[in-house]
A and B are shown apart, each in its own frame.
Chain A
Amino acid sequence: MTSSTGTPTGSLARSVQFLQRRHRFHWAEIIPWILAIAVFYLLPGYRLLATQILVMILFALSLDLIVGYAGIISLGHTAFFGTGAYITALMASNDIPDPILGLIAAAAGAAVLGLVSGWVLLRTTGLTLLVLTMAVTIMLQELANDFDEITGGFDGINFTNSEILGLIELDQLWYSSSYIYVLVVLFFGFLTIRTIVYAPFGRMLIGIRENTQRMSAIGTPVHQRQVSVYIISAAIAGIAGALWVQVQGNVTTEVYTFELSGEVLIMLILGGTGRLYGAFLGATVYKILESTTEQVLGTDEPYWQFAIGIVLILTVLFARRGLFGIFEDIVKKFKGASKGEVQ
């Protein structure tokens, strides 16, 4: 994602400068990162959950790139998430425990799968594409289950990573270093995606989403562009999968389930597609409802599904552009008729 992971601050500064030229940052965009840091200090007991939420945000962001910007609806994004997860886990359990190396390999592996499957599948659209993407991930899950000598199958395998850059151990109880590690990777992943969507390439994707035929008519190689964005999205999903299992120290066939594909799509639509921060909001709200509904209500009865169901229905009926749409509407009200910051 960034060539100079060794000096994150320098790279950060450069990225910011670069981005400010491309697309002005709004001061409000710092809010989620401040919140993320606040969560680290205020809720140490929920830190594994919080870390999982950060990973899911990255996963949802990768999906937003194809769903929200390129208009490719997929129910099989776990194909990439899971591939990244297994690559990292199998490397770690076979004496290549370096987490950064794991991320890179995961991104590469998922990108290759993205290239192959994207090249073939993206000739179709709509329900057909939905079913094809779903079929691919379910077949991968079957394979992972069948080759359980290698993958551990349904039970999965446990593994341990070495220290990040030889210095920082991924803590398995308080998850402090894990949280920071994931947050940093998420930040760079986010910058990458943000850069892409505000670049001419991203604008072209929106053009394809809005009117494929016209874009084709003005000379855009539509299929090639779609495959390109699919590969990028796959690579980022692969990184998310790698982070997911590195933090857990454990991988099971669950990383390939179609249910998880559905969940991340729901998170994204719930938050709002095609505007980056929707993924942040959607993943957070979904995971919090999923994990803490019973604690908040003070019951042992499982109410979370009901709670999520109702939130989804209400969101569709009353918030036309996802939860982030509500936020945008409020901002708009305060600003009067001025333009919204994020598209």
Chain B
Amino acid sequence: MSSFLIEITTVLVFGLAFSMLLFILSVGLSITMGLMGFANLAHGSFAMAGGYVTVSMVSKTGAPFAVALLVSFVIVALLSILFERVLYRHLYRRPELDQVLLTIGIVFASIATVTFIWGPDPQLILMPEYLSGSVDLGFNNFPRYHIFMIVAGAIIVAALFYGLERTNIGAQIRAAVDNRRMAESCGINTGRIFTWTFALGSGMAALGGGLGIQLLGGIKPVFALEYLVIFLIVIAVGGMGNIRGTFFAALILGIIDFAGKFYFPEGGAFIIFAVTIIVLLIRPHGLFGKA
């Protein structure tokens, strides 16, 4: 019985930590794809930029980890506005394939750029004392960082839901996602809404990039491409543009991924893809998607 308890709590806690990371990394892309139908495959580049800003802040200026995360959020959000204004906005009415080409171009260029600046080695940071080591709960012990990841994730999720459900701008975003034309005819400036959402989503990705340094073995140039697969899966399973759906998709996939690797390591990445295929064949528009 107690070993069963250990296993269940293990799967839940570690799975949840990974889920939170997945959600923070993917939610921005889900919103931009839902809102403008824009296939922004460079989302991972913004997450990667966040990771590098965090690493540089901590190792060069000695800033506390939490401060570095916030700074990376702001810097990457601003950077994404620049990209949106200079490059993306030319392509809103162009075919998806053009958007794919542009954003993959950005991914390639960003990989090369960070390699020139930081070199090919994965960049690591030493975590502050309160985030390393583990917490003993008597029956089982958990790494402090995973607990932190869950708490930080929960705060971010709560803030995001509050912002979207309870504020005026949140209502505008939801309206724009649901029906852009209708929202426009109600006087909502969807162009500006999009810019802000895009910045917010990229900033969130940057947070994810920073938070993921410890969990994913450091930040490195290929990050921008490596995690694209997982973003796309989370968004497809959750339903494009559906924040609640993205959250549950991240939750389910994160926990299943952990459980799968824990119980059947031979299956490798097989399980998460099998689950994805099954879900999408039953619900092609995602768990919470509009049919």
- Do any beta carbons of A and B sit within 8 angstroms of each other in the complex? yes
Interface residues of A (CB under 8 A from B): 67, 73, 120, 123-124, 127-128, 130-132, 134-136, 138-139, 142-143, 145-146, 258-259, 262, 265-266, 269-270, 273, 301-303, 305-306, 308-313, 315-317, 320
Q: Is the CB of B232 within 8 A of A309?
A: no
Chain A residues whose C-beta falls within 8 Å of the C-beta of B111 in the assembled complex: 305, 309
Of B179-187, B212-220, B270-278, the one touching chain A:
B270-278
Contact A73 B112 (CB under 8 A): no
Report if A132-B277 is in contact (Cβ < 8 Å); known contacts: A73-B97, A302-B115, A303-B112. Answer: yes
Given contacts A309-B106, A309-B109, A316-B91, contact A135 B101 (CB under 8 A): no
A138 & B229 in contact (Cβ 8 Å cutoff): yes
Q: Is the CB of B107 within 8 A of A309?
A: yes
B233-A131 in contact (CB<8A): yes
Kindly provide the distance from the CB of A266 to the nearest chain B CB, expressed in whole angstroms.
6
Which residue of A127, A128, A312 is within 8 Å of B102 (Cβ)?
A: A312
Q: In the complex the two chains form, is B269's CB within 8 Å of A138's CB? A: yes
Convert B52-93 into 0s and 1s, putting 1 for each residue whose CB lies closer than 8 angstroms to a CB of A.
000000000000000000000000000000000001001100
Give Cα distance in the complex from A340 to B24, angstroms: 48
Kindly report which residue of chain B lies nearest to residue A311, judged by CB atoms.
B105
Task: Judge if B163 is at the interface, Cβ distance under 8 Å.
Answer: no
Contact A313 B115 (CB under 8 A): no
* A313→B112 contact, CB < 8 A: no
**For chains A and B in complex, what number of residue pairs have CB atoms within 8 angstroms?**
114
In the complex, which residue of chain B has the Cβ closest to the Cβ of A321? B98
Report the interface size class on chain B.
Answer: 35 or more
Q: Which residues of B contact A259 (CB under 8 A)?
A: 225
A120 to B97, CA, bound (A): 24
Query: Is there an interface contact between A139 and B274, defined as CB atoms closer than 8 Å?
Result: yes
- Which of chain A's residues has its CB closest to B267's CB? A142
Q: Kindly list chain A residues whose C-beta atoms are within 8 Å of the C-beta of B236.
A: 127-128, 130-131
Nearest CB on B from A69, distance (A): 13
Contact B277 A136 (CB under 8 A): yes
17 residue pairs of the A-B complex, CB under 8 angstroms, read A73-B97, A123-B284, A135-B273, A138-B273, A142-B267, A146-B268, A262-B104, A266-B100, A269-B100, A301-B116, A306-B112, A309-B105, A309-B112, A312-B104, A312-B108, A315-B105, A320-B98
- Chain A binding surface, main DSSP class: helix
Instruction: Specify which chain B residues have a CB less than 8 angstroms from the CB of A73 in the assembled complex.
Output: 96-97
Q: Is the CB of A270 within 8 A of B232?
A: no
Q: Which residues of chain B are near A135, meaning CB under 8 Å?
A: 233, 273, 276-277
Find chain B residues with CB under 8 A from A146 CB: 266, 268
Beta-carbon nearest neighbor of B113 in chain A: A306
Whole-angstrom CA separation of A128 from B98 in the bound complex: 19
Interface contact A270-B277, CB-CB below 8 Å: no
Q: A138-B269, A142-B270, A309-B107 are in contact. Are A302 and B112 (CB under 8 A)?
A: yes
For B104, what are the chain A residues with a Cβ–Cβ distance below 8 Å? 262, 266, 312
Contacts A128-B236, A128-B280, A142-B268 hold; do A316 and B105 have CB atoms under 8 A apart? Answer: yes
Contacts of A309 in B (CB 8 A): 105-112
Are B96 and A313 interface neighbours, CB within 8 A?
A: no
A136 / chain B contacts, CB cutoff of 8 Å: 277
B20 within 8 A of A: no
B285 at the interface (CB under 8 A from A): yes
Question: Which chain B positions have C-beta within 8 A of A124?
Answer: 280-281, 284
Q: Which residues of A contact B98 (CB under 8 A)?
A: 269, 316, 320
Bound-complex Cα distance A184 to B153 (A): 57
Chain B nearest CB from A299 CB (Å) reads 12
Q: Write the chain B residue with the least CB distance to A67.
A: B97
| Nearest CB on A from B217, distance (A) | 19
